Chain A
Amino acid sequence: MEQTAVSDLKRTPLHTRHLAHGARMAPFGGWDMPVEYTGIVEEHLAVRTRAGLFDVSHMGQIEVAGDRALEAVQHLCSNDASRLKIGQAQYSALTTPTGCFVDDLLVFAPPHAADRLWNAIIDAGRPSGLIPVGLGARDTLRLEAAMRLYGNDIDETTSVLEADLGWVIAWQKPAFNGRDALAAQKERGVDRKLVGLEMLDRAIARHGYDVLSQNGKVGAITSGTQTPFLKKAIAMAYVRADTATEGTVVEVDVRGRRTRAQVVPLPFYKRPKN
């Protein structure tokens, strides 16, 4: 990746807050972002057991306005935006004509945020143990919840069905970008599928590592880490459809060492319902 000088990096409106909290900053997609404040493990556990505050203002937003805004959104995205009420958000895929991802995004009707709000939330949340959370823990948290990361788990070569995100496809919509390709793929079945893996041997599978069966390579890891909350090494990988069944044992090539992993259901972590 190209190195960007720190001075060229973009700053979010909360940049001075991050410095005040003593965050360790790093370049991320052209932005100077907080990687961690008190440590990934502590921040991860805070979110799972108490509360955490994230700066996500670096994430791209596109405003679609006008009389035919809904029509345009309905054509560009796979999910059904007509079901949204003001202030609600919906996870959706911005699809290519082949049913792959241009990006994933939240479609919503927008409110506004500010620097003052950050301080107010930090102060109000302190008694209940709320702390600011950086990109590092954001990554381990989203992986535990099996949220796909664009550029790692999904991109312009992976279809919505291969990513096992069929639930964001509103089949009742007569047309949207990629609908025909996805319908055809649904009919004949996918060749590969995104699955969850739990390591059986002591090792951490990382992005790009090969997934193997007795007959050779069957896929590749897209994201992997040791999760602080579940205390296991977990990963997501695209594997051949015939090795995607839960319980299947595969091997992961961890820097030349063959380590065993098992296909498990996604997500790895689900918030208990109260």
Chain B
Amino acid sequence: MMDPKNYRYTKDHEWIGIENGRGRVGITDYAQKQLGDVVYLELPPIGKTFERGQSFGTIESVKAVSELYSPMSGEVIEVNTVLVEHPEAVNTDPYQSWMIVLRLTKPDDTAQLLTTEQYAQLIK
């Protein structure tokens, strides 16, 4: 796995780890703290495509439902089915709890994303 220091972030508190034209997507530590205990995760099937900012799934805590937004445009090539069975891992290890892997179709999308420092500033 990549070091979270090299991830990029959205203002909606998703992270994406980019390697070889692929992006691994999850939610940040700040997001999991806001959500509280995660109990349910709904993820898209492999092959589905998303534009940057589109909802690719939902995450539910005991309290509420939240949308998951795609940090970049791309096609889903992997889905973390283990995480779907054990969604509580999002709380204990948010930066290793990836949800989907996208084959990125618009690499320039990164210009819209935040660096680790910028994201740290956002949630301050």
Please tell me which one of the listed residues B39, B40, B58, B62 contacts residue A136 in the complex, with CB atoms under 8 A apart: B62
A179 interface contact, C-beta 8 A: no
A136–B35 alpha-carbon span in the complex (Å) = 11
Please, which residue of chain B has its CB at the minimum distance from the CB of A44? B62
Query: Is the Cβ of B62 less than 8 Å from the Cβ of A255?
Result: no
Is A147 an interface residue, CB under 8 A from the partner?
Answer: no
- A9 at the binding interface (Cβ < 8 Å): no
**Do residues A204 and B39 form an inter-chain contact, with CB atoms below 8 A?**
yes
| B61 proximity list for chain A (CB < 8 A) | 40
Can you report 13 A-B residue pairs in the complex whose CB atoms are below 8 A from each other? A39-B36, A40-B63, A41-B37, A136-B62, A139-B63, A204-B39, A206-B65, A226-B39, A226-B40, A226-B62, A228-B37, A233-B40, A255-B65
C-alpha spacing A226/B37, complex, angstroms: 10
Q: Which residues 202-249 in A have Cβ within 8 Å of B in the complex?
A: 202-204, 206, 225-226, 228, 233
**A36-B36, A204-B40 known; A140 and B62 CB under 8 Å?**
yes
User: From DSSP, what is the main secondary structure of chain A's interface residues?
Assistant: mixed
B51 within 8 A of A: no
Interface residues of A in 245-269 (CB under 8 A from B): 255
Question: A202 and B40: CB pair below 8 A?
Answer: yes
B58 touches A225 (CB 8 A): no
- For the complex with contacts A204-B65, A206-B65, 8 further pairs of A-B residues with Cβ separation under 8 Å are A35-B36, A36-B36, A39-B36, A39-B37, A40-B36, A136-B62, A226-B62, A228-B37
Binding site for B on A (CB under 8 A): 35-36, 39-41, 136, 139-140, 202-204, 206, 225-226, 228, 233, 255
Residues of chain B from 58 to 111 with CB closer than 8 A to chain A in the complex: 58, 60-63, 65
Which of A41, A202, A203 lies in contact with B62, CB distance below 8 A? Answer: A41
B40 to chain A: closest residue by CB: A204
Which residue of A is nearest B67, CB measured?
A: A255
- CB contacts (< 8 Å) of A35 on chain B: these are 36, 63
Residues of A within 8 A of B36 (CB): 35-36, 39-40, 136
Question: Given the complex of chains A and B, what is the CA–CA distance between A36 and B63 in angstroms?
Answer: 11
CB distance from A213 to the nearest CB of B (A): 24
Closest chain-A Cβ to B7's Cβ sits at a distance in Å of 25
Cβ contacts under 8 Å, B40 to chain A: 202-204, 226, 233
Q: What's the nearest-Cβ distance from chain A to residue B87, in Å?
A: 10
Chain B residues near A226 (CB-CB < 8 A): 39-40, 60, 62
Does the CB pair A204–B60 fall under 8 Å? yes
CB B106 to nearest CB in A, in angstroms, measures 27
CB-CB contacts below 8 Å: B17-54 with A: 36-37, 39-40
Cβ distance A12 to chain B, nearest Cβ, rounded Å: 21
Contacts A40-B37, A41-B37, A226-B39 given: A136-B63 contact, CB under 8 Å?
A: yes
Report the minimal beta-carbon distance from A139 to chain B, rounded to whole angstroms. 8
| A203-B36 Cα distance, complex, nearest whole Å | 18
- Beta-carbon nearest neighbor of B88 in chain A: A41
Q: Which residues of the partner chain B approach A233 to less than 8 Å between Cβ atoms? A: 40
Q: Kindly state the separation between the CA atoms of A255 and B37 in the bound complex, as whole angstroms.
A: 21
Query: Which chain A residue lies CB-closest to B39?
Result: A226
Q: How far is the CA of A100 from the CA of B36 in the complex (A)?
A: 35
